[in-house]
Amino acid sequence: MNTAADTALPPATGAWREGDPAGARRFARLGGGPLRPERGGELPSVTVAYETWGRRAPDGSNAVLVLHALTGDSHAAGAAGPGHPTPGWWDALIGPGRPLDTDRWFVVAPNVLGGCQGTTGPASAGPGGRAWGGAFPLLTPRDQVAAEARLADALGIGRWAAVIGGSMGGMRALEWAVTHPARVGSLLLLACTAAASAEQIAWSDAQVRAIRGDPSWHGGHYHDAPPGGGPHTGLGLARRIAHITYRSEPELAARFGRAGHDGRFDVQGYLDHHADKLVRRFDAASYVVLSDAMNAHDVGRERGGVAAALRGVRADTLVAGVDSDRLYPLAQQAELARGIAGADRLRVIESARGHDGFLAETEQVGALVRELLA
């Protein structure tokens, strides 16, 4: 049964905005002057929303950086509540006695640059006071890591004991290890790749076109529209396309098959549910900016190619992929493992859940975290 919240018109954007409950977020207004993205433009100032768990050692040596995927945010652990519409996406991994044991480690999870949950992004106020919207600069994962490096400086962390990320977060974790090799002690790369493939770019392009083709897109300038006035149809369609790639065919067959009623298949209702959830907690323009940044991912760009870039990683590295992942297939993680640390550093997460296995299979991922941090 739908709740009143489910049936009410969604706001124009699901982004966190000034005046909303902060929840567990902290905010760092980064120093270092304007941030100038690689592909042009300028961000005169950057604020990063982040959350922490555990206590920082005086020298910062116990700090672990956890990097989220496309529609994630800084709320990696903790309950849903004011400011946090969903529970922590890796709650089972972070806390006392858990794989990221907060009695030992100081865990930091930032919201990515270009995101929509407190970090500077398209829904944030631009130089004129109105939301950046479609004028927000194009980004690359290197730009996002540049912002995260400034956050580390602000927190007094010269070197991360570990950097951990999956999917889009894995792209940034890899960029951390290549761009700042002396600042990454160990590295866990989950369900990601050295460079976005043609197929990944194609899937992403279909999603972005769905958003931009929505009549309510208005070139990305919709943030002040009334409830129901955002490009929700386009963002919902993008989520449906994406969610199919995140799961596996055997899982969908086992869960839904051809079951349905009233002329609709149950799998359609499943996709509708995930689309509706996303439009209420995310921002369409952030989805476009972050998707474009993922398409720009190529760790070998201007570094002599992928193989040369991977040879520059100094961190103790584990790479893991999901055996049923059809979006970031296991062969891509095998390439990373061979290029960085040797094939013996590849681990396989067994799951029927496809790409989302890196989020769902917390017991297996937890074992990898323990192995990395032993």
Active site residues: 167, 325, 355
Nearest one of 274, 266, 281, 265 to 245, comparing CA atoms = 274
**Residue with the two structure tokens 């889009």:** 168
Q: In whole angstroms, what is the distance from residue 242 CA to residue 70 CA?
A: 10
Residue 51 dihedral angles phi and psi, to the nearest 5° = -130, 155
Please, how many CA atoms are within 13 Å of residue 308, restricted to the half-sphere of its CB?
A: 6
Q: Contact, 145 vs 179, CB < 8 A?
A: yes
Give the CA-trace dihedral at 350, 355, 372, 174, to 10 degrees: 150
The whole-angstrom distance between residue 40's C-alpha and the CA centroid of its chain comes to: 23
Q: Contact, 176 vs 307, CB < 8 A?
A: no
The whole-angstrom distance between residue 333's C-alpha and the CA centroid of its chain comes to: 18
> Between β-strands 186-190 and 260-261, what pairing exists: parallel, antiparallel or unpaired?
unpaired
Give, rounded to a whole angstrom, the gap between the first and last alpha carbons of the chain.
Answer: 46
Nearest one of 203, 226, 156, 197 to 329, comparing CA atoms = 197
Nearest one of 107, 112, 132 to 43, comparing CA atoms = 132
Q: Contact, 285 vs 123, CB < 8 A?
A: yes
Q: In whole angstroms, what is the distance from residue 327 CA to residue 248 CA?
A: 9
Residue 225 dihedral angles phi and psi, to the nearest 5° = -70, 155
